[in-house]
Amino acid sequence: MKKRIAVLGSTGSIGTQALEVIDKNPESFELMAITAGNNADLLIEQALRFVPRHVVIGNESKYAYVRDALAHLPVNVAAGFDTIVKAAGLEEIDMVLTAMVGYSGLLPTVEAVKSGKDIALANKETLVVAGEYIKKIAAENHVQILPVDSEHSAIFQCLVGEPAKSIEKIYLTASGGPFRGKTREALEHVTKKEALQHPNWCMGNKVTIDSASLMNKGLEVIEARWLFDLPPDQIDVIIHPQSIIHSMVQFTDGSLKAQMGLPDMRLPIQYALGFPDRLKSDFPRFNFADYPSLTFQKPDTSVFRNLELAFEALRKGGNMPCILNAANEIVVNAFLNDKVKFLQMPSIIEKVMHKISFIPNPSLDDYCASDSESRTITRELITAKTVF
């Protein structure tokens, strides 16, 4: 039986690659719904190619444009963020791939989980912001959360078939991004163009900046905490510039398992969509002749402070990761718009973390409020041009 898939965020980097995977495996998958925020042209192109039953554009001003382009097809076209949330819960869907960027992925994911859909989770912010809550409702609704991030997919793959409670620690690998090995002085005046040159992975702008600042790894640490139910001191980060080992698990007997391969997001996407099967693929294979040496080093958190801030937020818990994440989304946006410098980003985030009231056991409404407050305060700090 084909798995019926909804792809939320189908026009982004993960979304387009997911559609490629679905396209290559027509006997395994059926694309039932696609949603996008703004990119109406690509959404239309995808709808023409796949003819999914549901097509949703977030930006309501583009509704007529999309509707008219697809008028000749048996496709329900709708618009607005609320409709994206609803699309995540449609009855005819088995699995929802959440590939929206940032905090906006939270509510659709909640809707999908509550509707009993298995989740292929590409939106790490969902677990960063509200991990405890998501895990609770996933358990209540017997929903599987399958990671799509290459690191978490690696750990998930290393854990299949292993006894429960056999994890001693996990190592999330990090390429180190374009600024690996640089000093604080050298990073003082880096441009967004330099920050967007990731050495190994081709990704969206937000996650590429997060990779350069190591915030991406920090968010992944928090995501891993919830996905694999591990306390912070069982999660470690190691810099591995070649991005071949995607992450590792160390077990209670001392044995380690690593998942490896060329950096190619189609692989973890396909694994999550196809789980528990491993579908055949024609993706390029790893060859040791091309990688005679795999190297490892400790991350320098005195330069890349975001990683330490993320651990701090995780140890504190409650609404703190939510505050961190919201502040980060705003500063990254400001950096991409030349409003703040690279090294100012962690300084602003840290200030915001200290300014907002701590809530130890937040409700979903509390998360929304903390998110909103964090964004407001971050914007104020940026506008005020406080000296960081």
Binding-site ranges for a second copy (CB under 8 A): 157-163, 166, 171, 238, 245, 248, 250-262, 264, 267, 270-271, 274, 276-281, 283-286, 288-289, 291-298
- Minimum Å gap between C-beta 21 and a second copy is 10
> Smaller CB distance to a second copy: residue 192 or 257?
257
Which among 182, 210, 6, 252 is positioned nearest to 124, based on CA atoms? Answer: 210
- Minimum Å gap between C-beta 207 and a second copy is 21
- Minimum Å gap between C-beta 296 and a second copy is 4
Buried b (16+ CB within 10 A) or exposed e, 257-271: ebbbbbbbbebbbbb
- Minimum Å gap between C-beta 277 and a second copy is 6
- Minimum Å gap between C-beta 264 and a second copy is 8
* Cβ neighbours of residue 62 closer than 8 Å, sequence gap 6 or more: 38, 40, 79
> Smaller CB distance to a second copy: residue 22 or 75?
22
> Smaller CB distance to a second copy: residue 57 or 272?
272
- Minimum Å gap between C-beta 325 and a second copy is 28
> Smaller CB distance to a second copy: residue 115 or 281?
281
HSE-CB at 265 with a 13 A cutoff on CA atoms is: 20
The answer to whether the beta carbons of residues 367 and 319 sit under 8 Å apart is yes
DSSP state of 104: G
- Minimum Å gap between C-beta 306 and a second copy is 21
Which among 31, 72, 71, 37 is positioned nearest to 54, based on CA atoms? Answer: 31
- Minimum Å gap between C-beta 149 and a second copy is 14
Which among 384, 375, 360, 364 is positioned nearest to 325, based on CA atoms? Answer: 375
DSSP state of 20: H
**CA distances (Å), origin 233, targets 211, 230, 308:** 22, 8, 13
> Smaller CB distance to a second copy: residue 163 or 231?
163
* Cβ neighbours of residue 2 closer than 8 Å, sequence gap 6 or more: 27, 28, 29, 30
> Smaller CB distance to a second copy: residue 18 or 40?
18
> Smaller CB distance to a second copy: residue 193 or 285?
285
**145 phi, psi to nearest 5 deg:** -110, 110
The answer to whether the beta carbons of residues 8 and 98 sit under 8 Å apart is yes
> Smaller CB distance to a second copy: residue 166 or 337?
166
- Minimum Å gap between C-beta 257 and a second copy is 5
Residue type, 224: A
Burial of 287 (0-12, 13-18, 19+ CB in 10 A): exposed
> Smaller CB distance to a second copy: residue 92 or 162?
162
Q: CA 211, CA 131: separation in Å to the nearest integer?
A: 21
